[in-house]
Amino acid sequence: MGRDPPDAGRPDREGSTHPVTASALPETRTALDVLTTVFGYDHFRGDQAEIIDTVLRGQDALVLMPTGGGKSLCYQIPALLRPGTGVVISPLIALMQDQVDALSALGARAGFLNSTQSVPERRAVEDAFLAGELDLLYLAPERLGVPETVRLLQAGKVSLFAIDEAHCVSAWGHDFRPDYLRLTVLAETWPDVPRIALTATATRQTADEIVRRLELHDARTFVSSFDRPNITYRIAPKDSPRTQLVDLIRAEHTGDAGIVYCLSRASVETTAEHLNAHGIPALAYHAGMPAPLRAANQSRFLREDGIVMVATIAFGMGIDKPDVRFVAHLDLPKSVEGYYQETGRAGRDGLPSTAWLAYGLQDVVQQRRMIDTSEGDAAHKRRMGANLDAMLALCETITCRRVQLLAYFGQDGPACGNCDTCLAPPESWDGTVAAQKVLSTVLRLERQGQRYGAGHVVDILTGKPTPRITSLGHDQLPVFGVGADLSATEWRTVVRQILAQGLLGVDSEGYGTLSLTEAADPVLGGKQEVRLRRDVRTKTSRTRKPAAAAADAELTPDAAARMEKLRAWRGATAKESGVPAYVVF
Ligand code: ADP
Ligand code: MG
Ligand code: ZN
């Protein structure tokens, strides 16, 4: 895969036409004929021609192509050309009717089978399939769990199986659908029917899992460039996210269609109300809403101009709305894959679009807590932790976001020049002493057998004598006020990054209290430097330079004495040689 195969974001360039020669095909009509006469396009994009050719020749294919790249044609055209019916497995039940309508409008013969149909409706589709009158049959994955469906498919003629949104088979992914595990039946029952799996997810792990679970060992793999050059990536420190969102829309996206993702249903509702109250037309979408209302909101978003859809991640897969001008996240996504998919819904028409994420300390606390309290074994938690760490690294990077994002998918390229970090490179500073102050505070509380959340730790550091602090006697701690050199906001930024770097953990009981991790040892021991990023805030002015402030913070005189006690307390004898000389405030 090269640096610049064309993709959805970019208008197709001259010379990217790959005509399929008629001689290569069993049919007199060529793929290119179908592209022009049925779909009305004049040339293939990217790998489309080769993918179609592969399936036409009866070979399996695995297609990793970004959202909007044009995956549908990769199975629709072979389905129109090969004898029999192309069976498309899709989790998007709500969109099946739309897809079938769109194909019918083009003169293709298409139908679907899912749980929303009445018996007569289903019969009609089954009869058409058995009579060989369908080019395409869309199937919800759970249908394959019904023995009649398998018998039905065996009784008719299947030309190919297309497994759309194939990443849903990944148990570790962000979109796991247990029904996808049924798809092994395809290879077992129809070993001679070609299968094409398609997804906009591209990590090695997910691709490997798709190959393994769908038995695509002999498939040809096609990987497109995942770069979406028309999307500007921005990640902002979270202050008051709804106000920040309104500011963003008013400043740059008045009258534009957009999607706003929130973690909770409650937050979806509140945010939609907030936007409407500020004159921005917004609709809500989450799994807790009645299905008809959800469907109505979705179709208004698709058909009307300038509507903002506020939603949980239940919304968006398979939505083909080309002119979504911005995707905003008010909460941290759980993984880079999720972030990439969700932001990928912006700018499918190739015009400039914004991906904006508000991210703060509370996000890290909340996500770590969710992982700890989630069901699943240790391996599952490790995997989720790794996903989160990669997402945090993207948030905290001081280099180009796009480079970081593509690197995650194993692709490389130069700095983009239009993401927030390219446009306003954040300073990094030596936050070692600041980190030591935070860690020491947590350590001192742990020594007393206590754990507190970030807010309390920041109050101690800044020397704020709140009633809670004084009643607990925390104003007597040696660390009380050692952080007066930075503001509370700056300390929260420091704590957030220390959490992101894994030097602190969050309790699993659900209170968000902080605890030291093993990784904190070398930092407290003065053996490891901590680099921190200085948040670039568009509104708040910078008051002081943390780098300078951190540099003049000296060790307290009795640090050595405390270190001794501390070593004893931490059972340092157990790991004699590697024991760090703790620097404790
Ligand atoms: P994906 O499933 O990869 O997200 P779709 O298959 O929905 O993408 O295609 C996205 C859009 O691009 C659709 O509107 C589709 O009609 C259009 N498209 C696909 N292939 C071509 C092509 N070769 N030329 C022009 N438009 C195309
Ligand atoms: Mg698609
Ligand atoms: Zn950049």
Stretch among 22-26, 403-407, 449-453 having the lowest mean pLDDT: 22-26
Alpha carbon 1 to chain centroid, angstroms: 23
For residue 66, the ligand closest to its alpha carbon is 1
Nearest C-alpha to atom 25 of ligand 1 is from which residue? 41
Mutate to test the pocket of ligand 1, among 10, 17, 35, 45 (most ligand atoms within 8 A of CB): 45
Average of per-residue pLDDT across 48-60: 96
Q: What is the pLDDT of residues 293-313, one digit of tens each?
A: 999 999 999 999 999 999 999
Ligand 1 contacts CB of residue 533 (under 6 A): no
Per the DSSP assignment, residues forming a β-bridge with 533 are: 428
What pLDDT shows up at residue 509? Answer: 67
Q: How far is CA 469 from CA 81, 205, 436, 456, in A?
A: 74, 47, 21, 8
| CA 344 – ligand 2 centroid, Å | 12
Which band of pLDDT confidence, cut at 50, 70 and 90, is reported for residue 537?
confident
Q: Is the pLDDT of residue 193 over 70?
A: yes
> Which residues line ion ligand 3, judged by CB < 5 Å?
400, 402, 416, 419, 422
What pLDDT shows up at residue 376? Answer: 82
Ligand 1 contacts CB of residue 67 (under 6 A): yes
Which band of pLDDT confidence, cut at 50, 70 and 90, is reported for residue 50?
very high
For the CA of 65, the closest atom of ligand 1 is: 3
Nearest C-alpha to atom 23 of ligand 1 is from which residue? 44
Q: What is the pLDDT of residues 233-252, one digit of tens each?
A: 999 999 999 999 999 999 99
For the CA of 43, the closest atom of ligand 1 is: 23
Q: Please tell me the distance from the alpha carbon of residue 181 to that of residue 213, in angstroms, as a whole number.
A: 7
| List of long-range contacts for 208-213, beta carbons under 8 Å, 24+ apart | 209/169, 209/170, 209/171, 209/172, 209/173, 210/62, 210/166, 210/167, 210/169, 210/170, 211/62, 213/169, 213/170, 213/180, 213/181, 213/183, 213/184
Per the DSSP assignment, residues forming a β-bridge with 231 are: 353
| CA 197 – ligand 1 centroid, Å | 16
Q: Is the pLDDT of residue 64 over 70?
A: yes
Average of per-residue pLDDT across 12-38: 60
Nearest C-alpha to atom 27 of ligand 1 is from which residue? 70
Task: Write the DSSP symbol of residue 16.
Answer: -
Q: Please tell me the distance from the alpha carbon of residue 567 to that of residue 84, in angstroms, as a whole number.
A: 74
Q: What is the pLDDT of residues 424-452, one digit of tens each?
A: 999 999 999 999 999 999 999 999 888 89
Task: Kindly give the pairing relationship between strand 257-261 and strand 428-430.
Answer: unpaired
For the CA of 8, the closest atom of ligand 1 is: 12
Ligand 1 contacts CB of residue 98 (under 6 A): no
Percent of the chain with pLDDT over 90: 70
Task: Kindly give the pairing relationship between strand 282-285 and strand 158-163.
Answer: unpaired
What pLDDT shows up at residue 326? Answer: 98
What pLDDT shows up at residue 28? Answer: 56
Q: What is the pLDDT of residues 244-300, one digit of tens each?
A: 999 999 999 999 999 999 999 999 999 999 999 999 999 999 999 999 999 999 999
Is ipTM > 0.95 here? yes
Ligand 1 contacts CB of residue 5 (under 6 A): no
Q: Which residue has the tokens 């040892």?
A: 521
Mutate to test the pocket of ligand 1, among 13, 20, 73 (most ligand atoms within 8 A of CB): 73
Q: What is the pLDDT of residues 339-359, one digit of tens each?
A: 999 999 999 988 999 999 999
What pLDDT shows up at residue 558? Answer: 44
For the CA of 320, the closest atom of ligand 1 is: 7
Pair 38, 135: CB distance under 8 Å: no
Per the confidence metrics, is the pTM higher than 0.90? no
Report the 3 state secondary structure along 304-355.
CCCCEEEECCCCCCCCCCCCEEEEEECCCCCCHHHHHHHHCCCCCCCCCEEE
